[in-house]
């Protein structure tokens, strides 16, 4: 497993690509948007400069990572030599299944297809391919270079060998892999969405301020970020899509907070738009 292709150059995709490149993998980053590809290049360079300034990596290691990375908008070109393709597109099942049908046709028979979905069924995604045994979910966490966890979710027909191979890839990226049985939301998202949604309802009910609720969670439960800070980081539109999927799959306790719905309608999506529960310069 030496060649990794990352499909989608957004926040998660570029974080995965950077992490794979500094771990010694040869990485192709693909996105249909030229702007997203350019932003991924900028992000990678910023990360390399930051880590060199902190003596986390050497100039030679940074140069090697740059040489490991290729950027393109052409899907077929991106996956030609891939041993592993990691999809990191929007959390829309229709979009993912359409992409996996195409990837199945374009990639070599040995290629493993992985989805970075935080909530959706790898079994359903794998069913769109002729290689369900080589299709799996690898759920990375934001920001990818800093977060140690990868949830590895085996679909109904995912082989033990495929799971073993993607765990080895994760470990080479210096991540801890936890194997989770497939169920909507897996482990982390299922718990985190409930916490974040309840925090939003508490703001709506006037239990405390946004800052107060986040501070209480950080100091009272030792969370590194408050649930509202985290929602802003993830993106409120992404969180709403996750909540809607979990509500549909698991029922009433996952009904999206009216405040979340209102913020997304207003275009207050968190850090990426400069305003969510907090204001960002």
User: For the whole model, what pTM was predicted?
Assistant: 0.88
Angle (nearest 5°) at CA 27 between 23 and 33 = 130
Best CA proximity match to 276, nearest among 214, 224, 219: 214
Question: CA-CA distance, 206 to 218, in Å (whole number)?
Answer: 19
Q: What is the pLDDT along the chain (281 residues), one digit of tens a residue?
A: 999 999 999 999 999 999 999 999 999 999 999 999 999 999 999 999 999 999 999 999 999 999 999 999 999 999 999 999 999 999 899 999 999 999 999 999 999 999 999 989 999 999 999 999 999 999 999 899 999 999 999 999 999 999 999 999 999 999 999 999 898 889 999 999 999 999 999 999 999 999 999 999 999 999 999 999 999 998 999 999 999 999 999 999 999 999 999 999 999 999 999 999 999 98
Token duo for residue 109: 């028979």
Tokens 């390399």 identify what position? 48
Extended beta strands in 170-234, E state: 176-181
Q: What is the DSSP letter of 23?
A: T
């Amino acid at each position: 497993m030496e060649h990794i292709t990352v499909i989608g150059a957004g926040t998660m995709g570029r974080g995965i690509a950077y992490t794979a490149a500094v771990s010694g993998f040869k990485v192709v980053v693909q996105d249909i948007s030229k702007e997203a590809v350019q932003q991924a290049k900028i992000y990678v360079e910023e990360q390399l400069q930051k880590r060199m300034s902190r003596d986390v990596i050497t100039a030679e290691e940074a140069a090697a990572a740059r040489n490991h990375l290729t950027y393109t908008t052409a899907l077929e070109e991106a996956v030609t030599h891939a041993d592993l393709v990691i999809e990191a597109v929007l959390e829309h099942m229709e979009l993912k299944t359409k992409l996996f049908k195409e990837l199945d046709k374009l990639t070599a028979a040995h290629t493993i297809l992985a989805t970075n979905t935080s909530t959706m069924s790898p079994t359903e995604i794998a069913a769109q391919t002729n290689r369900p045994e080589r299709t799996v979910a690898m759920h990375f966490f934001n920001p990818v270079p800093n977060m140690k966890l990868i949830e590895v979710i085996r679909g109904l027909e995912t082989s033990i060998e495929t799971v073993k191979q993607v765990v080895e890839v994760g470990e080479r990226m210096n991540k801890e892999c936890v194997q989770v049985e497939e169920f909507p939301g897996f482990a982390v998202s299922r718990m985190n969405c409930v916490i974040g949604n309840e925090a939003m309802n508490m703001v709506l009910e006037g239990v405390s301020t946004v800052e107060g609720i986040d501070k209480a969670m950080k100091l009272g439960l030792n969370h590194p970020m408050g649930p509202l800070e985290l929602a802003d980081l993830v993106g409120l539109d992404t969180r709403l899509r996750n909540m809607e999927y979990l509500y549909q799959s698991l029922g009433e306790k996952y009904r999206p907070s009216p405040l979340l719905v209102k913020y997304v309608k207003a275009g207050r999506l968190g850090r990426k738009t400069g305003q969510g529960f907090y204001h960002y310069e």
